[in-house]
Structure 1
Amino acid sequence: MHRQPQVQINLQALQHNYLQLKKLAPNSKLLALLKADAYGHGMLEVASALPDVDAFGVARLDEALALRTGGIVKPIVLLEGFFHADELEQVVASNLQIVIHHIDQAEALLAANLSTPVPVWLKLDTGMHRLGILPSDYVDVYERLIASDNVQGPMRLMTHFANSDDLTSDATATQIALFQSITVDLVAEHSLANSAAVLSRPDTHADWVRPGLLLYGVSPLQGHTGRDHNLLPVMSLVSSVIAVRDVAAGDAVGYSGSWTSPKATRVAVVAMGYGDGYPRAAGNKAEVLINNQRFAVVGRVSMDMITVDIGAAAVQVGDEVLFWGPNLPVELLAEKIGTIPYELLCNISSRRRIKFNYANQTE
């Protein structure tokens, strides 16, 4: 029977990665990031498989409410805070924590009539220049919030690194120094380290670390894979061969004839395409794994199919095809097509089936 495109999620690997992260940052609490459906891995299932985590981080209110509806009772932090003052009522009702990253948010929180104070993470812009209170305003906003009955103390202070995945950049050290100079006299827990900093800057682990990609067994550092850090890939993207064809020398394969066979060969047609979230840019660049052998993707990636040059290999209809997972890291595909693993994981289409299991990870 042919296997349709499927995402397989290894929850045992997820738990292994969580324990490894605790070893990497043994003195820090762990805020596990579940935004974008847990980077494509299934937000509720991932949260349910991590009962010992200290807190979960999501981007927006709808993600937090989905977790609460699914029975998750752990602390949940809204990394983008609230978008409108009307959402504060739901924040309180659902026992959520909020990041304050703009003065307008601070003013709305101070002016609100809340039945219960809200835990707050106050974000400082140290150089990312995306979200965060400006350094010149930060202490004043902190003092006003900490004095408010709407804020549950103690507050947590945070920033976000722009270049921590670049080990040659001085930008992270500059951001650290600015954060420390602004917060030195403020009583609060600190959170600086994202996934890359968890690996490369132990001096930033502080009270809380915020791993995202690492939790799923994927490295944010260029030229590295999760295996380099004793992490296991949680997601495998698989499908199957649906046809095998003989191709003569000089035959063009697929749309626009972007690949012409240099010699007589065989191609496998695989049920996977950009409609499933496999990147169109992978054509003529990527490799897949069939029967533990690597084969090149040739021709254009179509909406529902790709073609693979299998030569004389003993590949037949129904054989499983691995696009990324154990033995074929998603980091390698990202590097070949000029993107990042985050995008590949998050872009898997909802048309694919997803299977959760605790199967042992193979080498």
Structure 2
Amino acid sequence: MTAARVEAVVDLAALRHNVALLAGLAGRSGASTMAVVKADGYGHGAVPVARAALDAGAAWLGVCTLEEAAELRAGGIGAPVLSWLHVPDEDMTAAVATAVDLGVASPRDLAAAAGAARAAGRPARVHLKIDTGLSRNGCPPHDWGALLDAVAGLVEEGVVEPVAVWSHLAHADDPSHPTLDRQAARLDDAHRAATARLGRPLLAHLANSAATLTRPDLHRDLVRPGIAVYGLDPVEGPGGSGHDLRPAMTFRSRVALVKTVAAGEGVSYGHTWTTPGPRALALVPAGYADGVPRLLGSSGRFAVGIGGVRRPVVGRVCMDQVVVDLGPADEPHGVAEGDEVVLFGPGDGGLPTAAEWAELLGTIHYEVVTGVGGRPRLSRATTGVTQATDGVNPSRTW
């Protein structure tokens, strides 16, 4: 079998280590753990990640969309799943029928959940989301009472089963930021109002990865770690969170071609780099269509690992390829066609990491790992008929 030209290798042992660490921290506070596997498990593969997370101590799974929840159920996963972001006119019937919990942030969400429950012939389990200060998804505090009244009516009808009150933090990557305590207090107020109005105990959940790692006082009944599941530290600054997280993804390719180029030759589009002398170059068949951002090529510090050695990428990142400088043409470099190229990984031996890419790009490592796997499935509408076309995705290996 021919090896993949571009490949994301996911270390499930590292992922299980991370989840066990997170679940252990949550357990000390009496909380359960929801592993967030949205966006195809942050690019790591939702179903394998979900299974590994459950094996390692997670009790719940979290996703963004109903399609993501359906993928888990189709993969044979029966654990509790919460899907939390819904668009107008979305049919929730299949989700209710397969016992997927639904985030409810508005009367529209609630009405859709109730309609799905009637169609499915079973109550919709809902987590009521209060906006505590992120000003994104969530019910505004001034509408909370009306939402609870509507929920109470649907509980009496037997079509809605409220499970939890929850919210999301805005500044958890800075554990001492004053908004964390303010948001927690607002969540507690909303939770008290809900339990009083609905006359039943409800779970409360607020903590994301950073709060799970650094703020046990915010764990409540359930924590929702995302990026930390994948071994990437959400806390900024020296030392990060201080916990032993292990990056689970290695993004790699292979050397497609080794060649020598004369002095003074421009390399790649726009000739942004010119050979200072006769050079040996390696061609790597991975580019921005595969998840290597084009902006990396302008940083001047973008490197890859070949044979355990950091080697600089020169010139612009192309759609399908990058060029690596192996040094003077008359000096041995030890690189051969077919050799493995580590684009990023756990950082062993000082090789590149997703966090390094994020620093070069001025972004966060969340975006880096979820960006792996371009060349996506496309849907094109032609004269009213939608045709799906599979692209050539980088493979994933577990």
TM-score, length of structure 1 as denominator length: 0.90
Match of 1:32 in 2: 35
- 2:338 alignment partner AA: G
Deviates more, 1:308-317 or 1:224-233: 224-233
Aligned to 2:311: 295
Separation in 2 of the partners of 1:106 and 1:308? 54
- 1:195 and 1:220 in contact (8 A); partners too: yes
Match of 1:44 in 2: 47
Quick check: 164-173 or 277-286, which moved more? 164-173
1:247 is displaced (CA, Å) by 3.5
Aligned-pair distance for 1:339? 1.9
Where 2:301 maps in the other structure, the secondary structure is coil
Distance 1:297 1:225 in 2: 28
In structure 1, distance between residues paired with 2:240 and 2:289? 27
Rate the CA distance shift 1:280–1:181 in 2: closer, same or farther, 3 A: same
1:161-210 Cα shifts (integer Å, max 9, x gaps): 12212346433232223222333354321100111222232211111111
Cα distance in 1 for partners of 2:319, 2:73 equals 36
Deviation readout 1:25-71 (Å, 9 max, x if unpaired): 22211111111111111112222323342111111111111221221
Residue number in structure 2 paired with 1:118: 124
1:96 aligns with 100
Letter aligned with residue 326 of structure 1: P
Partner of residue 354 from structure 2, selected from 309, 330, 333:
330
Higher mean displacement: 22-31 or 263-272: 263-272
User: For residue 134 of structure 2, what is the aligned residue in structure 1?
Assistant: 128
Hey, what does 1:181 align to over in structure 2? 189
Question: Is 2:163 aligned against 1:170?
Answer: no
Partners in 2 of 1:272 and 1:223 — Cα distance?
31
Whole-angstrom CA distance in 2 between matches of 1:346 and 1:12: 20
Deviation, 1:265, is 3.1
Q: Secondary structure at the match of 1:126?
A: coil
Give the structure-2-normalised TM-score. Answer: 0.82
Query: CA separation of 1:91/1:260 partners in 2, compared to 1, >3 Å: closer, same or farther?
Result: same
What letter corresponds to residue 25 of structure 1 in structure 2? Answer: A
Greater shift, 225-234 or 206-215, is seen at: 225-234
Structure 1, 110-119 or 185-194: larger mean CA deviation: 110-119
Compared CA separation, residues 112 and 228, structure 1 to 2 (3 A) = closer
- How far residue 11 of structure 1 moved from its aligned partner, in angstroms, is 1.3
Q: Which residue of 2 aligns with 1:55?
A: 60
CA 1:118/1:345 → structure 2, altered by over 3 Å: closer, same or farther? Answer: same
Partner of 1:151: 160
The aligned counterpart of 2:82 is: 77
Q: Percent identity?
A: 35
Moved more, 55-64 or 1-10: 1-10
Q: Summarize the Cα distance change of 1:265–1:213 in structure 2 as closer, same or farther, 3 Å threshold.
A: same
- How has the CA–CA distance of structure 1 residues 190 and 225 changed in structure 2, closer, same or farther, with 3 Å as cutoff? same
SS in 2 for 1:236: strand
Report if aligned partners of 2:175, 2:215 keep a CA contact under 8 Å in 1. no
Unpaired stretches in structure 2, ≥5 consecutive residues: 196-201, 377-391
Deviations 1:112-164 (A, max 9, x none): 662211211110111111110111222442344145122224x2011111221
- Within 2, Cα distance between the matches of 1:210 and 1:9? 21
Kindly indicate whether residue 284 of structure 2 is the aligned counterpart of residue 281 of structure 1: no
Change (3 A) 1:71 1:248: same
Q: Say whether residues 1:4 and 2:19 are aligned partners.
A: no
Distance in 2 separating the partners of 1:185 and 1:100:
16
Structure 1 position 257, deviation (Å): 0.5
- C-alpha offsets along residues 59-100 of structure 1, whole Å, 9 cap, x if unaligned? 111111122122111111111147436x23222211111000
Which of the numbers 203, 208, 211 marks the counterpart of 1:197?
A: 211
- Does the 8 A contact of 1:193 with 1:209 survive in 2? yes
**Whole-Å Cα distance in 1 between the matches of residues 302 and 152 of structure 2?**
53
Deviation string 1:229-285 (CA, Å, 9 cap, x unpaired) is 212111111111122232444322110011123344322111111121211111133
- Match for 2:395: what amino acid? I
Distance in 2 (alpha carbons) for counterparts of 1:227 and 1:266: 41
CA separation in 1, counterparts of 2:274 and 2:188? 58
Residue pairs, 1:248-327, within 5 angstroms = 248-283=262-297, 284-311=300-327, 312=331, 313-327=333-347
CA contact (8 A) 2:345 2:353 kept: yes
List alignment gaps of at least 5 residues for structure 1. Answer: 358-363
Cα distance in 2 for partners of 1:161, 1:173 equals: 10
Asked whether the equivalents of residues 25 and 213 of structure 2 are also in contact (C-alpha less than 8 Å), the reply is yes
Give aligned pairs, total.
355
Residues 228 and 123 (structure 1), Cα distance of their counterparts in 2 relative to 1, 3 Å cut: same
**Residue 135 of structure 1 aligns to which amino acid in structure 2?**
P
2:363 to 324, 330, 339: 339
